[in-house]
Amino acid sequence: MYDFSDLYQLGWLPCAPAAGSRLMSVSAGFDEISAVLQLKYAPEQLLAVDFYDPARHTEVSIKRARRAHAPFPGTRQVDARAALPLVDNSIDLTFAFLAAHEIRDASERAAFFREVRRVTKADGHIIVTEHLRDAANFLAYTIGFFHFHSRCAWLSTFRNVGLQVEQEIKITPFITSFILSKNGTAA
C-alpha cells in the first residue's frame, strides 16, 4: 500500500531535525521508524520508547510483528498512562509513527500526549502520523477502519493537551501526518 509513496523516505516532512537534535520515536510494539530516523538524520541522540502493554493493547497483528522483528536497540518500555523517563523540555522532535492509535482510551491518549508535550522543547515539534477513520481507510480496511481514530478525535486530543496543529499533511490517501507544536500552557 505504501510502496510508491514517500512515507518512509520522509521527504514530506517540513521540519527536518537540525544537527545536534534530540529525537524521540514512539512505538506500540512494532517500531517502523527509529532505524529510518537513525539512518537519515544520525541524530545526536535518538530515544526509542515503546508503550505496548499486551494487557491493554490487544491487537493481534502487534503480537505477530513483535515475534518477527526485534525492537530498535536501546528501546525503553514506557507506560502510556505514566510519566515519561525524561526531563521537561528535553526533546527537539518526536515521531509517533503509526502507533498512537493503539491507545484506545481517550483519557489515556490525552495523558500520554501531555507527557510528550512536557518533554518537548518550546520550539520543538511532535509528528503524529496515522491512518484516520475516514472513507479512504474504510475502502482499504472495511470494518477494520474502526481501529483508527477520526480526524476530529485527534484534533480534540491535541487541543485538550495544549498542542497546536501547525500543518496537516496527507502523505497518501490513507495516511495523514499532523505537525504539532506547544500552544500556551498545558490543559
89 in a domain, yes or no?
yes
Chain length of the chain: 187
What confidence tens digit (pLDDT) does each residue in 19-73 have?
Answer: 889 999 999 988 989 999 999 888 889 999 999 887 776 666 676 666 767 889 9
9 in a domain, yes or no?
no
Q: Which domain holds residue 152?
A: 22-182
The helix (run of H) or strand (run of E) holding residue 22 is strand 22-27
2 in a domain, yes or no?
no
**For residue 81, what is the domain's CATH number?**
3.40.50.150
- CA 3 vs CA 30, 58, 65, 174: distances in Å: 19, 27, 19, 13
The grid coordinates listed for 184 are 500556551
What 3-state class would DSSP assign to 107? helix
17 in a domain, yes or no?
no
187 in a domain, yes or no?
no
**pLDDT tier, 185 (very low <50, low <70, confident <90, very high otherwise):** low
In this predicted structure, the answer to whether residue 187 has a pLDDT above a threshold of 50 is no
Q: What's the confidence (pLDDT) of residue 20?
A: 87
129 in a domain, yes or no?
yes
Number of folded domains that form the chain: 1
Say if pTM beats, i.e. exceeds, 0.75.
Answer: yes
- CA 44 vs CA 47, 82, 90, 91: distances in Å: 10, 26, 13, 11
7 in a domain, yes or no?
no
**Residues of the chain above pLDDT 90, percent:** 56
133 in a domain, yes or no?
yes
Mean pLDDT of 79-90: 95
